[in-house]
Structure 1
Amino acid sequence: MTLIGRAPATVVLAGVDVRQVTVRDVLRTHRVSRPRPGLRWPLAYRSAAAHDHRTTLLTAQRSLLTTRGAELVIVHRPLPLLALARCGYALAWFRHGARVGWTRARAAQFRAAVRRRERPDGRLDNLVTEVARLLLGRRAWRRLDPGLLDEEIAYGPVLDAVRPHLIHALGHRSLGLAIRAALRAEGSGHRIEVVWDAPPRVPAQTRRATVAGDALLRTFAREADGVVTVGDRLAGELRLRHGLSTTPAVVRNAPPLATGALDHPHGVRERCHLAADVPLLVHTGPLSPDRGPDTVIEALPKLYDLHAAFVVPDPGAPELGALRDRAAQLGVQARLHVLPYVPVDEIPSFLSSADIGVLPVHQLPHHQAVLASRYLEYAHARLPVVVSDVRAMAAATLELGNGEVFRARDTADFVRAVGAVLTNPRRYRKAYDRVDILRQWSWQTESTQLLDLYARLLGPRR
């Protein structure tokens, strides 16, 4: 097995060849770093290099003028020559000031152009996007998202060198890479099966990104030999949207079922240095705004001695600064704990010493259709859950009785739900004992669908 990706591998698995790929992003950044002058930015520099060159040159000239001024003070000259030199010096400063003003105007327009290019969501940007969609159709992704071609340059040679029998492509960006690699391989007489792993699509921030993503999927979605996703509702939506011949297989990213007791040498409670009787809720995963970390922070002043632990990929990430600042403003910074990830196989035991697992996600389409991996991790840790009223997780919680549901973004209702769980946590933990739900939500069960798909595609080569 070969694992190919951009991020460095943090876990080494036996029998897995990990290959890290570096994507240079030349084509993606070219449009941003070289804004074209036009009606909006007629004075903007044509490139970052030109901007840096001019500003650096002015800094050097300022240093030379400062040195010249010191020289006029130190070096003795006859009065007429000194007066002439000072007039020339004043004129040089005047010219320097004019150049600085001109450069600042051009630099300001350059920075504005770069900011707009980084987020092309203006009316003119949307008009250009619609023109590209109408004229180029399914090929519009090449024009609207050149970063996909950067990825082709980086990943394509690696996939050609590996010559796999099957490519499991995670996400819509990887799907195009896999299909094109399969076409090149088939041209040389080597058959590659492609499985598209389709997670819920997060809404794009701009119309340009949305159209590019849709064009990419119209081009390649129906070319995949097999499709897997993480929820039944999402599987049906994918089949209808892309005209797939069969309904995608549903494979949730579930933890393996533990055979022994949940015992971690340094669990989340110990890492927070809390006694066993101190209430502790835990939130795992990246802290994007749509995941609702603000709801947790805003609730802490109303929950008195409750502590909150956020288990994140990078505790030093810049986006955590705003969260810590808000906690300090509310006077609850001592009850906020930020911890790094632990290995995947340790997650349930690591979380099991907490009292509640929370998922305060907002009401957005990509949160509605599936049970989040974090929900399954909380379940295997036997934690009562507090989830917002997004469709799939709210339904599972109400049916199983393993937690409380609150209205998304409603801090007061979140406080009510947490209080209800803390009042009688044993009631909610017992829900995991009444049915064989943990075995149903385990990787041992979920992986059978994936292995069956692999076996069907590979046939005798299994």
Structure 2
Amino acid sequence: MGSTPRKAVRIAVLADSTLGNDSRAQRVARAAAEAGYDVTLIGRADGRPAPVLPGVAVITVDVPQTLFRHRTHRPRPGLRWPLAYRCAEAHRYRTAQLAVREQLLRTRAAELDVVYRPLARQAAARAAYTLARARYAVRRTWTRARAAQYQAAVRRRGVPDGFLDNLATALSRLLPVRRAWRRLDPLLLDLEAAYGPVLDERRPQLIHARGRRVLGVALRAAVRAEAAGRTVKVLWDADECAVLAPASSRRAAVARDADERAHAAEADAVITVCEAYAEQLRTRHKLPAPPAVVLNAPKYQDRSAPRDGGGVRAACRLAPEVPLLVHSGAVAPERGLLTVVEALPKLYDLHAAFVVPEPGAPYVRTLIERAAELGVAPRLHILPFVPPEEIAGFLASADIGVVPVHHLPHHEVALAARYLEYAHARLPVVVSDVRVMAAATLSLGNGEVFRAADTADFVRAVGAVLTNRPRYRRAYERSPMLGQWSWQRQSAPLLEVYARLVGAPTIAGPALLART
């Protein structure tokens, strides 16, 4: 069967993310379009142009997070902060009013020496000014006290881990599961308000929910479609980070669990990124079979095809003989990038490039400041993301790819997307001793493993790779793993799930290379 009948099948790929930084959402949408589906990719607007994907309609939606931010914009002061302002607008108004009053008093002080020359008039004016200054001092003390209490209340509401917060969270468990998540995580309702009308307008026959937070949005769109006489299937693309990663507070953990329990079992199909998490999902939600595993892997490409416009080495303006390690992906303390920065003084002329989604993010600035303290700032390069289809070619000019993550549950169970990108760039890797990636590295022989968060051991591992880079690169030539870790291979079970859900014949995805 050709692709023409498949064009009638409309798929919406729904992501709770900014699309320029979501490589998996882009790969999924392109694979579906290449297989003949009518694909719409929907994600968050972030002020940047939406990615252009062949055959895919891309829609970015503004998510103002009104309900989510209400908690911090209008904190409940209670007995602990009785003087706190009751809302963000009142806080801004009073602090701005205080700043203007101070400026006017400074101007008035200058006028006393310029305008009121006669002694009698100047004495009266100075008396009035002294009184106004005293009133201002009282108002300033009062306003600053209320502002300090307001800011303390906002901080507490932003990280709800106090006794009363935990008590309210515990009591919420007594609510029906469909009400608990609404009370604990209003952001889910913000997503409903933003994405729901878009899904209703696009009228998809299959919704690919990319992540837990949009699963409920997809399921409710399917219910509305059924009431209108249409059938919509929902596929949940479960991210292991969404459940296994540590939550910011007990409230966030309970909200996450309640949301998943309310919606996971209603999905028509589930896929995920690793075998261990697939088995957990099957057990937790009593699924009839483990979810299909689809790695977020790049396409297999001939290494002789470099990225147009140069790679990471050219972006850093480094000569070919200068050693360069690279990290591609989001930054956070648990990603272990501080270990890399603190190792640079002991690695002499080695440079490090961090390819990040937001070069101006607060933690990126923290890393830059630390590099400056150590005297290695010129050897640290911060670069923006490149499109997913170009990432392997962009990284290929580096010498080492690093994954220095700490020991956390979601780091232990899966091959990170950047690990697969390094492999397709044929880069030797240096990874921390998290279970799955360390085992893959030792088995394939494409790099070295070090103890997580151990700077000295990281230096040892990097030195070992730099002294014999060709040996680690040859590991990719000896093994068929690149074919197995390719999007051509990984997209096949995804397309099979699509075909089963919409009742269409399976059409093979892009042809695999002989080596796969």
State the TM-score, normalized to the length of structure 1. 0.95
- Equivalents in 2 of 1:162, 1:436: separation in Å? 41
- Equivalents in 2 of 1:214, 1:191: separation in Å? 28
**1:84 Cα deviation (Å)?**
5.3
Give the match for residue 326 of structure 2: 282
**1:450 Cα deviation (Å)?**
0.2
State which drifts further: 131-140 or 47-56: 131-140
Q: Does 1:40 align with 2:71?
A: no
Give the match for residue 310 of structure 1: 354
Give the match for residue 278 of structure 2: 235
- Equivalents in 2 of 1:255, 1:446: separation in Å? 9
Q: Does 1:217 align with 2:217?
A: no
Could you say if the C-alpha distance between residues 310 and 23 of structure 1 is closer, same or farther in structure 2, counting changes exceeding 3 Å?
same
Q: Does 1:6 align with 2:44?
A: yes
Task: Give secondary structure in 2 for the equivalent of 1:244.
Answer: coil
Task: Give the partner amino acid of 1:42.
Answer: P
Could you say if the C-alpha distance between residues 331 and 59 of structure 1 is closer, same or farther in structure 2, counting changes exceeding 3 Å?
closer
Give the match for residue 349 of structure 1: 393
Give the match for residue 149 of structure 1: 189
**1:92 Cα deviation (Å)?**
2.8
- Equivalents in 2 of 1:205, 1:345: separation in Å? 33
Could you say if the C-alpha distance between residues 108 and 276 of structure 1 is closer, same or farther in structure 2, counting changes exceeding 3 Å?
same
Q: Does the CA contact (< 8 Å) of 2:303 and 2:425 recur in 1? A: no
Task: Give the partner amino acid of 2:265.
Answer: R
Could you say if the C-alpha distance between residues 65 and 321 of structure 1 is closer, same or farther in structure 2, counting changes exceeding 3 Å?
closer
- Equivalents in 2 of 1:320, 1:278: separation in Å? 23
Aligned residues: 461
Task: Give the partner amino acid of 1:211.
Answer: V
1:184-333 alignment, distance < 5 Å: 184-200=224-240, 201=242, 202-259=245-302, 261-265=304-308, 266-333=310-377
Task: Give the partner amino acid of 1:52.
Answer: R
Give the match for residue 180 of structure 1: 220
State which drifts further: 58-67 or 403-412: 58-67
Q: Does 1:133 align with 2:144?
A: no
State which drifts further: 269-278 or 105-114: 269-278
**1:131 Cα deviation (Å)?**
1.4
Task: Give the partner amino acid of 1:412.
Answer: A
State which drifts further: 182-191 or 347-356: 347-356
Could you say if the C-alpha distance between residues 325 and 223 of structure 1 is closer, same or farther in structure 2, counting changes exceeding 3 Å?
same
Residues 188-244 of structure 1: CA deviation (Å, up to 9, x unaligned): 111110000001123211111111111010100000000000011111011112222
Q: Does 1:410 align with 2:454?
A: yes
State the TM-score, normalized to the length of structure 2. 0.85
- Equivalents in 2 of 1:329, 1:213: separation in Å? 39
Task: Give secondary structure in 2 for the equivalent of 1:135.
Answer: coil
Could you say if the C-alpha distance between residues 44 and 458 of structure 1 is closer, same or farther in structure 2, counting changes exceeding 3 Å?
same
Unpaired segments of 5 or more residues in structure 1?
A: none
**1:444 Cα deviation (Å)?**
0.7
Give the match for residue 137 of structure 2: 97
Q: Alignment RMSD, CA only?
A: 1.9
- Equivalents in 1 of 2:92, 2:376: separation in Å? 44
- Equivalents in 1 of 2:300, 2:142: separation in Å? 67
**1:138 Cα deviation (Å)?**
4.3
Could you say if the C-alpha distance between residues 85 and 38 of structure 1 is closer, same or farther in structure 2, counting changes exceeding 3 Å?
same
- Equivalents in 2 of 1:396, 1:67: separation in Å? 70
Unpaired segments of 5 or more residues in structure 2?
A: 1-38, 507-516
Could you say if the C-alpha distance between residues 341 and 71 of structure 1 is closer, same or farther in structure 2, counting changes exceeding 3 Å?
closer
Q: Which of the numbers 182, 207, 220 marks the counterpart of 1:167?
A: 207
Q: Does the CA contact (< 8 Å) of 1:9 and 1:20 recur in 2? A: no
**1:65 Cα deviation (Å)?**
4.2
**1:380 Cα deviation (Å)?**
0.9
Could you say if the C-alpha distance between residues 60 and 424 of structure 1 is closer, same or farther in structure 2, counting changes exceeding 3 Å?
closer
- Equivalents in 1 of 2:345, 2:118: separation in Å? 73
